[in-house]
Amino acid sequence: MKTWLTLTTIFLTCSISLFAQNRDSSNAVLQRAITAKNERRIQLALNLFEQAIKYDTSNVEALKAMGQYGIESRNYRQAVDAYTRWNRLEPNNEETFQQLATLYFNLGRHQDALSFTEKWEKLHKDKPMHYIAGMCNYYLENYPQAINRLMYAMETDTSNAVLYYTIGRSYLEMERYKQAIPYYQKAANADQKNARYVFEMAMVYYSIPDDKNAIATFQLAAERGWQKNADYYESLAYCYMNIGDFAKAAENLQLSLEKRPHSLTVRYALAESFYKGGKYKDAIDNWDMVLQNDNKNARALYMIGMSYQKMGQKDKGMMLCDKAIELDPSLNSLKQKKMDMGM
């Protein structure tokens, strides 16, 4: 019995001594890490913080220092590792809740971020993390919750363009277009260098539909630097077509075709805009181009027939329309509809 007690005592004494040595070694390396940090030797500092923790995995001061420096140096993964280990040692430490919520959000781990915002808010109901919670809910496609939390965040953060944009985008995802518009406007006003906000707002106006405001907003997007690519001109053209300005529609569709010359969809739309604008020969030329690439496009053939009839060549036009109906019998209903309308 004495021998066992003696061995146990020796073991405990050695363990305590070893722990003390490890803690001393850990603290010594920690001081070297802090010195390297102050000298802005980033990688050396990070390596030394890691070494300090290897000597003593329960050294909270080392974990805290490594976490803070990980944030300062934007080494978020190392910061997460440090705060996670600290949280395991002290599961109720509220500083780890706040830091991990922010870090997980920055890393795109939105469900983990929400978990720590909830832990923080249980202790600090007077200091809710509305912005992070709202943004995380948005990325997790919980749009009503995102709007609710971001609305609260907006009460104290009145110049955050991303916040306004995310509320608008959440309404957009829910297809509540009219409610989205005011927040797109706030985002565009808060960040006048971000042309995307303006372009998306134009698309929302188009979806309402509110084509006049859509046209003005598309033009504003271009003024702010949005690239006038094929999609830009095509979207603008459809707005003009919807308000009956077929000349402007054709002009923008031609600009779109310059960027994307093989698009049959845009070519067909151009032909349609010429037809509706009374330029039947131009309409025929463009529907002919559609048929050259898609000889089974019965609708294009039918509209060529209609164009000939509009030009006074009724027999030729009716023959082409009948040929189109043979290819696609469903066009017969279109023929009847146009006859009823006197077209």
107-160: pLDDT as tens digits: 999 999 999 999 999 999 899 999 999 999 999 999 999 999 999 999 999 999
Kindly report whether the peptide bond that precedes residue 209 is cis, defined as omega within 30 degrees of 0.
yes
| Mean pLDDT over each residue of the chain, to the nearest integer | 89
Which CATH number fits the domain 20-91, given the four candidates 1.25.40.10, 3.30.230.10, 3.40.50.1000, 3.90.79.10? 1.25.40.10
pLDDT digits (tens, 9 = 90+) for 83-122: 999 999 999 999 999 999 999 999 999 999 999 999 999 9
Cα dihedral sign, 310-312-315-316: negative
* Length of the chain measured in residues: 343
Parse the chain into domains and list their residue ranges: 20-91, 227-295, 298-343
Query: What torsion do the CA atoms of 7, 11, 14, 18 make, to the nearest 10 degrees?
Result: 170
Ramachandran assignment for 52, one of left (phi > 0), alpha (psi -120 to 50 degrees), beta (any other): alpha
In CATH terms, the fold of domain 227-295 is 1.25.40
Distance CA 286, CA 302 (A): 13
Q: Both tokens of residue 25?
A: 């070694």
Q: What are the distances in angstroms from CA 222 to CA 84, 169, 277? A: 46, 20, 26
Predicted TM-score (pTM) of this structure: 0.82
60 vs 320, more confident: 320
Distance CA 327, CA 281 (A): 23
Residue with tokens 């709007």: 147
Report pLDDT for 34.
79
List of residues 6+ apart from 126 with CB closer than 8 A? none
Identical topology for domains 20-91 and 227-295: yes
For residue 152, the tally of other CB atoms under 10 A from its CB is 14
pLDDT digits (tens, 9 = 90+) for 1-57: 445 445 444 443 444 443 345 666 777 878 887 788 787 887 888 788 888 878 788
